Chains A and B, each alone.
Chain A
Amino acid sequence: MTKKPSILHPSLRPNKLGLTLRQYEGSMSTLCAGCGHDSVTAAIVRAFWDLEIPPHMIAKLSGIGCSSKTPTYFVSGAHGFNSAHGRMPAIATGANAAHRALTYIGISGDGDSLSIGLGQMCHAIRRNLNMLYVIENNGVYGLTKGQFSASADVGTKSKRGEANRQAPIDPVMLALGLGASFVARSFSGDKAQLVPLLRAGLTHRGFALIDVISPCVTFNDHEGSTKSYRHTRERNVEVARADFIPPAAEITADYAQGSTISVQMHDGSVVRFTKVAEDYDPTNRQSAQAHLQAQMARGEVPTGLLFLDKGAADMHELNDTTDVPLAQLPYEKLCPGRAALDKLQDAFR
């Protein structure tokens, strides 16, 4: 495996755990130079470092595809699971069921999530599985060389000039419709927007979906593509800027201004929205949906933290799971024992 040079830059400072940014990195990327996914990886590294999460308390999971390779490229001190195409949500669900105290991040792509894994993603949303779910969305299948994915827009052109004629599946609108509790969209080229979103998503208790437009430099960055760097930069309209304030930080008074909304998360941290669009309310599902639909009809790509419902019960709350991770319960607490077996068998007489 390709190793990164282990030179510590003198400017690298440690977080409260004494870990530098470098210690949240992974192995060297094998993606194409300029791939949007590598920018997302850098933002993820930064978000974990910022949040001061011990690496071994992170579980990073993925399916199959270019995007799904990326968990190798961040937090090498975390257990990783590169599973099967479209099946990451189920693996993450089981993993989370067994150990609720870890921080779960799943990295998927538009092929992995919107075609082969669409059902599993929808059901992870329904369960409000406590995880950050990142779709690195580029509109094409990269590893199999450039077929349209289900997120390709009508009219977008492939590298060979063929135009897509099927309607796209938009993960943001889908998630909103399914009742997702945290829905965001960003752009791999906008680290200033992406890092706070990732931090907020990791802190959110429940399913946090971030759809990141992440251009494919090899198969989908040409003229006529609606998922190219250029197209995304031009059409990207931030509707609700999210700022993430960790629990310990002092909350300054200016968030109470008319154009901002702040939401306190379960761990005490605060997500502060600065609304760029005045009539946008990221805590109201119906009005958010209507607003986004109108924007998309104008050909805009709305980005930011588009919806947040921090009150929705997550999978474990719905199940009334005990607080101790199930995987750590001692066997003595799990086996009813011989006397109970004797007694219960009286019902089988």
Chain B
Amino acid sequence: MHQEQLVRINDFAFKLANVNGTGSASANGLLMQAIFRMGIPVSGKNLFPSNIQGLPTWYEVRVSNAGHTARALDYDLIVAMNAETYARDIKEVRTGGWVLYDSSWPLPPALLRPDVTFLGVPLARLCNEAFAEPRERILMKNIAYAGALVALLDIDMTVIDKLLEEKFAKKKGLMESNHKALRLGYDFATGHLDCPLPIRLQRMDATSQSILIDGNTATALGCLYAGATVAAWYPITPATSVMDAFKNYTEKFRKDSKTGKRNVCILQAEDELAAIGMVIGAAWNGARAFTSTAGPGISLMSELLGLAYYAEIPAVVVDVQRTGPSTGMPTRTQQADILACAYASHGDTKHILLFPANPNECFHLAVKAFDLAERFQTPVLMLSDLDIGMNDWVTPRLTWDDGYRPDRGRVLGAAELAKLEKYYRYSPADENNVAARTLPGIDPKGAFFTRGSGHNELGGYTEIPDEYQAVVDRLARKHRSAAKFVPESILVSAEGATFGIITIGGCDAAVREAVELLSKAGLHGDYLRIRAFPFDAAVESFCARFDKVFVVEQNRDGQLRTLLIAETEISKEKLASIRVYGGFPLSARSVVEAVTAQMKAPAAKEAIS
């Protein structure tokens, strides 16, 4: 036993190792939500397999009174519920930590560690005695370990009770089973184990203005609030829940209660080729339209993204990135679609990208995506990822300004057309290199022929070099013009910074924490989080201030770094690379270790970058 350990309140991490498809998700979610309701900053990472039943699955919970939400790599407690992964799971507990296991069967002696405390709870036996149905016995084992954790971690039982009441308000039988199972675990723990452990919880008031939401749901809300009326998609992990949520919200907010008629059309396409085609067709016709997809879908959509780029048609694509290439690891996270999205399609193409870092930004940047797509008449791709999209995050409540009105860009109506002698689709362009478009069904004077084939500034077919180049050159200028309108980069300054760190999206929480930890260790760096491509002016001026700038990202090839080198004047030599791309969310420790190694041993730089 390790009674001498310091008590750590609201600052620890535990990991639950389960078998997929046994109902552990609801027990784990319950624990996470209870901690959130106790007012304590918490984050949960579901590390699940691409499988319906049988493969190992993990759920990590980090409690951090300092508000750090990145994945922790140091586990104080493991709940080992999967015999197949015992060896690996038990190895991961820190020295002095705890392992909670099902003591209905003895643990193989080889797995025991002298530096760890083993907490046996006979979960299977307890549940077999208390429940008759085989499926219920399996499901309730999860609630039973949750009950033991309530005692061990000092989770507020009244909070748990309330959550169960809310969850099973309409299913009395289930509520009773859950209560019973919870008590089984709780009573066993209080009767047989030292409760609470030195790692424990205590009520705070840090989450009352926050919500617990996943990024895909927040993205769907953004699309709803932006006024999207057409959505087309093909089912794909981890983007499916964007459209599931969008559908649920439109059923609530876009359906006439009397007539049953909908102010939305959601199309489940035959594939991603069709999904993006539908978005383009709808946007061409004046609707706000979007699709949600992941890497394999981006590959398929690339063809028509080039059409939308060249013919200048708005389109919003939400890419919830997963691990590639090919099918890759569909249930693991990565940021490896950056280049595929930036330059999607053959020929010279360049798109606007947005990089949300958390669900709150998923909501706001989704709205922004529509405004930018219509203002610049071009595809906008919002690159979320599996970690942001599918995990529940504690995030500030979403806010909305009722004064918001969509930026529909330059669209000519009948009255404006009447003033023109003749209308040309791509001329004249304004100071942002955007020409006015017209919509079908308004006025024959506005009619023009949209084409992906060579066209001149007037919109006519051409194969003449000068005419062709005039259009594609303007498109390049148009893309640069967007830099002034995209969400600005966010700077976190340190006193006496000697280096810079740049990252995007889902790395934010880990890098933020890493910058603090590095500072404590005497390595002071400024941190810039890029939120869009084309890059705003802050990116170059930030890099100009340092001899060394670390680019942190979750892909093998340093795609963000490549994009920085290709699209800015920043010298390649000063951009050091930190890449973590195994498929699990980034942790601060990975960043701290890489920065420390490179700052202390400059010679090692080449080996890493």
Contacts and interface: CB of A to CB of B under 8 A. Distances in A.
Interface stretch (B16-24, B259-267, B497-505): B259-267
B260 A93 contact: no
B304 A78 contact: no
B265 A81 contact: no
A95 B281 contact: yes
A82 interface: yes
Interface of A: 1, 54-57, 59, 61, 71-72, 76-84, 87, 89-99, 101-102, 119-120, 122-123, 127, 315-316, 319-323, 325-329, 331, 333-338, 340-342, 345, 348-349
Contacts of B275: 90
Contacts of B446: 56, 79
A82 B303 contact: no
A341 B450 contact: no
Contact of A349 (B211, B221, B402): B211
A334 B229 contact: yes
26 contacts: A1-B460, A59-B285, A61-B281, A79-B447, A80-B449, A83-B277, A83-B304, A87-B274, A91-B278, A92-B281, A94-B285, A95-B285, A96-B281, A97-B232, A97-B267, A97-B289, A119-B270, A123-B274, A315-B265, A322-B256, A326-B264, A327-B287, A331-B406, A341-B399, A348-B213, A349-B211
B286 A98 contact: yes
B265 A76 contact: no
Given A90-B274, A123-B270, A336 B285 contact: no
A199 B398 CA distance: 52
Which 4 A-B pairs have CB atoms at the shortest separation, nearest pair first? A90-B277, A94-B281, A94-B278, A77-B444
Nearest to A327: B286
A87 B253 contact: no
A331 B261 CA distance: 17
B441 A94 contact: no
Contacts of B269: 90, 123
Interface string B272-312: 01111111111111110100000000000001100100000
Contact of B211 (A80, A99, A345): A345
User: Which of the listed residues A82, A90, A123 has the most CB atoms from chain B within 10 Å of its own CB?
Assistant: A90
A322 B439 CA distance: 20
User: Which of the listed residues A55, A61, A98 has the most CB atoms from chain B within 10 Å of its own CB?
Assistant: A98
Contact of A325 (B224, B281, B441): B441
Given A82-B452, A84-B304, A84-B452, A120 B402 contact: no
Contacts of A102: 285, 440-441
A54 B444 contact: yes
Contacts of A348: 211-213
B444 A336 contact: no
Contacts of A61: 281
Contacts of B439: 79, 327
A221 B544 CA distance: 68
A120 B270 contact: yes
Interface string B220-238: 0100110101101000000
A323 B256 CA distance: 12
A323 B303 CA distance: 33
Contacts of A329: 229, 263
B597 interface: no
B461 A83 contact: no
A108 B154 CA distance: 68
Given A93-B274, A93-B278, A336-B253, A98 B230 contact: yes
A87 B449 contact: no
B262 A319 contact: yes
A321 B440 contact: no
B113 interface: no
A1 B459 CA distance: 11
B262 A322 contact: yes
Contacts of A349: 36-37, 211-212
A122 B240 CA distance: 24
A120 B266 CA distance: 17
Contacts of A89: 274, 277
B442 A56 contact: yes
A101 B441 contact: yes
B293 to A, nearest CB: 14
B224 A336 contact: yes
A90 B230 contact: no
B271 interface: yes
Contact of A59 (B36, B227, B287, B440): B440
B266 to A, nearest CB: 8
A329 B438 CA distance: 17
Nearest to B459: A1
A55 B450 CA distance: 16
Given A341-B398, A349-B211, A79 B265 contact: no
A336 B223 CA distance: 12
B307 A84 contact: yes
Given A325-B441, A327-B287, A341-B221, A79 B273 contact: no
Interface string B448-471: 111111000000110000000000
B221 to A, nearest CB: 7
A275 B444 CA distance: 40
A94 B452 contact: no
B453 A82 contact: yes
